[in-house]
Amino acid sequence: MSTRTRFAPSPTGFMHIGNLRTAIFEYLVAKHNGGEFILRIEDTDQNRKVEGAIDFIYNTLKLCHMDIDEGPNNAGKYGPYIQSERLDIYKKYAEWLVEEGHAYYCFCTKETLEEMRKLCDARKVPFMYDGRCSNLSKEEIEEKIKNGEKYVIRQKMPKYGYSIVHDVVYGDVKVENKILEDQILLKSDGYPTYNFANVVDDHLMGITHVIRGNEYLAQTPKYNLLYEAFGWEAPTYIHVPMVLGSDGNKLSKRNGDASFMDLYNEGYLPSAIVNYLVLLGWSPKENQELFTMDELIQAFDEKRISKSPATYDIKKLQWFNQKYIKNLKDDEYLEFIRPFLTHDVSDKSEEWINKLLLIYKDHLSYGKEIDELVNIFFNDEINISKENEEFLNSDEIIPTVINAYREEISNLDDWTIENLAEVINKVKEKTGAKGKLLYMPIRIKISGVEHGPELPDELYLIGKEKVTQRLS
């Protein structure tokens, strides 16, 4: 049987990096085994639905080079792939469970449930539906339905014994059946609960490996009881640990930078994000950090997913991103970085702009960073800090060095990077200044700050006119 995994997001128009990491794991399990990766939209909570969310998910996965084999926009033979279009399927299967005695109609009203809850509170036990409707007779049920009473369908749990679920990451999970609530499968509005729909869909869609957040692990014994009731084989379960923020809390939507699109818009390359995320909670056999997608497909082994929560660390992501930016070809890099440059370049040549952008290629952590780094090339006025001013007065060789630069530069006809490198050599010979005393005075004079790109590049980009003016 071919391996089939599914990514099953709710269409919220937002891709949390925790969700994206789950999608990556799902994609890799499928592709490592030559199987299919399916997209299923879980929109049974209609309140959370956002227009355009499906295209957003497609775009995100496409940017990350994860092709969807079957999904709402490229339907295979197991559709529909959107849960709200499958309501008749859930109804049919829920009713079958009722007929077979694995589920029952429950007519309890909100008020009845509220009383039940209060009773549990008074006894200081967690709320659990007491199963009273499972005792209704066939006649009572028919009567209530005839009277138009609203009902839900609940799963009938065994009251004795244990259920055991095997999970690839967490091993055997054993629970006492008596703590399993008769959960709702079908709501009164005809929508299924996640707890029901995931089982029906995973089976009907031929899903072999279910990969999802470990918050679902405790519920999984209930799902297995459903698989048993239907006489279906349960999938392989791979529950993955949470991704925590650096403060140790679960990442949330409010934590802005936890969204894929935010990172993308800040200038993080999707391939770097994927590479970083896959290592949150998974480790390869060999000590390798940088992976192409093909290498990941080769190397991925779900047995090496860790049980412990992983911590999202933007600094580490920046480290990956820097490597990926550096590895771009120059033209790819220019295409990527150009939109992040927001300075007015209308009076600059293409050659000047490209040169400017390229000198940062090897050091950039993310796209947006460029804008601040290049400020020194766009300021009309430069501000020299008090410390830098003090530095300029700290050694008597400094005025001599600055004068030497001024002289060499005014004698220079051809404003090229090579010639400017030569200027620096000449000043060194002439003045005997070395290191800090050779570079810092001129840097401070021409840009106001002591750091910047290679000095010949910096001089070249600032241009002869401004350099001469600032040295006088």
Of 55 and 142, the one with the shorter C-beta distance to ligand GLU is 55
Of 9 and 71, the one with the shorter C-beta distance to ligand GLU is 9
DSSP 3-state assignment of 242?
A: coil
**Residue from 3, 4, 5, 9 that binds ligand GLU (CB under 6 A)?**
9
Our answer to whether residue 315 is catalytic in this structure is: no
Using CA atoms, how far residue 422 sits from 69, 203, 398, 437, in Å, is 58, 72, 19, 17
The residue annotated as part of the active site, out of 253, 326, 434, 436, is 253
| Residue span binding ligand GLU (CB under 6 A) among the ranges 3-11, 264-272, 275-283, 365-373 | 3-11
Q: Is 198 in the site for ligand GLU (CB under 6 A)?
A: yes
Of 198 and 275, the one with the shorter C-beta distance to ligand GLU is 198
Shortest Cβ distance from residue 199 to ligand GLU (Å)?
Answer: 10
The residues near 98 (Cβ < 8 Å, ≥ 6 apart) are 104, 105, 153
For helices 350-358 and 455-462, give the axis angle rounded to 10 degrees: 150
DSSP 3-state assignment of 128?
A: coil
Q: Is 102 in the site for ligand GLU (CB under 6 A)?
A: no
Contact 467, 377 (CB under 8 A): no
**Residue from 11, 25, 30, 42 that binds ligand GLU (CB under 6 A)?**
42
Residue nearest to ligand GLU (CB): 212
Site of tokens 């030559």? 34
Shortest Cβ distance from residue 259 to ligand GLU (Å)?
Answer: 14
| Residue span binding ligand GLU (CB under 6 A) among the ranges 6-14, 160-168, 394-402, 415-423 | 6-14
**Cα distance between residue 244 and residue 241, in whole Å:** 9
**Cα distance between residue 20 and residue 276, in whole Å:** 11
The gap between the terminal CA atoms of the chain, to the nearest Å, is 78
| Residue span binding ligand GLU (CB under 6 A) among the ranges 8-16, 94-102, 114-122, 168-176 | 8-16
DSSP 3-state assignment of 206?
A: coil
Q: Is 10 in the site for ligand GLU (CB under 6 A)?
A: yes
Shortest Cβ distance from residue 38 to ligand GLU (Å)?
Answer: 11
Of 42 and 369, the one with the shorter C-beta distance to ligand GLU is 42
Shortest Cβ distance from residue 223 to ligand GLU (Å)?
Answer: 9
Q: Is 163 in the site for ligand GLU (CB under 6 A)?
A: no
Contact 398, 406 (CB under 8 A): no
**Residue from 8, 66, 169, 305 that binds ligand GLU (CB under 6 A)?**
8
**Residue from 4, 102, 209, 212 that binds ligand GLU (CB under 6 A)?**
212
Contact 317, 268 (CB under 8 A): yes
Contact 205, 37 (CB under 8 A): no
Contact 20, 271 (CB under 8 A): no
Which residues sit opposite 212 in a β-bridge?
239
By annotation, the residues acting in catalysis are: 253
Residues at the site binding ligand GLU, with contacts judged by CB under 6 A: 8-10, 42, 198, 212
